[in-house]
Amino acid sequence: MPVLPGAEPYRHDGGEVGVLLCHGFTGSPQSLRPWAEYLAERGLTVSLPLLPGHGTRWQDMQVTGWQDWYAEVDRELRSLLERCRHVFVFGLSMGGALTLRLAAKHGDAVRGVVVVNPANKVHGAMASLLPVVRHLVPSTKGLTSDIAKQGVEELGYDRVPLHAAHSVRQFFRLVDGELPQVTQPMLLLHSPEDHVVPAADSARILSRVSSTDVTEILLEQSYHVATLDHDAERIFEESYAFIGRLAPSAETTGSPAPETLGGSTTGG
């Protein structure tokens, strides 16, 4: 299946500081594209992959699971580590869980993590029934576009495939057990009013990681997809300042992304 227009992966070859961005469940790189371009315009090397089964049609997710999604971001991280002196990992929602597992598994190779409304658990009455229901019902209503800002839409699926939902539930349990292995500096930004991931998930993550350098920021004006919402610019600025504090060379090296290309210099 062809990738939906706007859901394409994004990469920019910049300086010695790299950032991997991980999008959310049933979403696409579109939700993080402005963030990626902001970082590229400041000379950073940026990778924003499209997770397998995403960005086409929801039926394509039925044959994928967390192992596929994690393998994709793990490959991208390893590629950045070969090219960059310092590498950071950022994530939204389920992308936050992917980020945290990368941090737990790669240790000091990951310089720092930034997570926005990170997911830690599948909530709702159906969650415990997923092992059975997924064999009876193929999908349920979608989760995308929880955005306070008028006129802004998230590009993602309008249905949630239940086989994939069962897999993400298993993944969250796995990551929760690995959170004490996360030791890197962390910036966690979350929305008090989020209709997809409750604040309890952020609280759980903050209570279980072993990081000692932790900053928590509330995004008072945004809903779940805060990277496209009223607080987007604040997320971009705070994350760039976070990088600058931990890797000062980020502010002095690297080639800015050409404005005429919208920050995409390698395509795809």
> Is there a domain that residue 5 lies in?
no
Domain count, the chain: 1
CA-wise closest residue to 144 among 36, 25, 1, 62: 25
Would you list which residues are annotated within the binding site for substrate?
25, 94
Q: Is the dihedral angle over the CA atoms 39, 37, 65, 140 positive or is it negative? A: positive
Strands 112-116 and 17-22: unpaired
The enclosing domain of 105 has a CATH number of 3.40.50.1820
> Is there a domain that residue 240 lies in?
yes
Would you list which residues are annotated within the binding site?
25, 94
* Residue 24 structural domain: 10-245
Q: For the whole model, what pTM was predicted?
A: 0.91
14, 84 Cβ separation under 8 angstroms: no
> Is there a domain that residue 177 lies in?
yes
> Is there a domain that residue 2 lies in?
no
Written as one letter, the residue type at 186 is: M
> Is there a domain that residue 1 lies in?
no
Active site residues: 93, 194, 224
> Is there a domain that residue 207 lies in?
yes
> Is there a domain that residue 268 lies in?
no
137, 163 Cβ separation under 8 angstroms: no
What is the full per-residue pLDDT of the chain (268 aa) written as tens digits? 789 999 999 999 999 999 999 999 999 999 999 999 999 999 999 999 999 999 999 999 999 999 999 999 999 999 999 999 999 999 999 999 999 999 999 999 999 999 999 999 887 766 666 666 666 676 787 878 899 999 999 999 999 889 899 999 999 999 999 999 999 999 999 999 999 999 999 999 999 999 999 999 999 999 999 999 999 999 999 999 999 999 987 654 555 555 333 334 333 3
> Is there a domain that residue 137 lies in?
yes
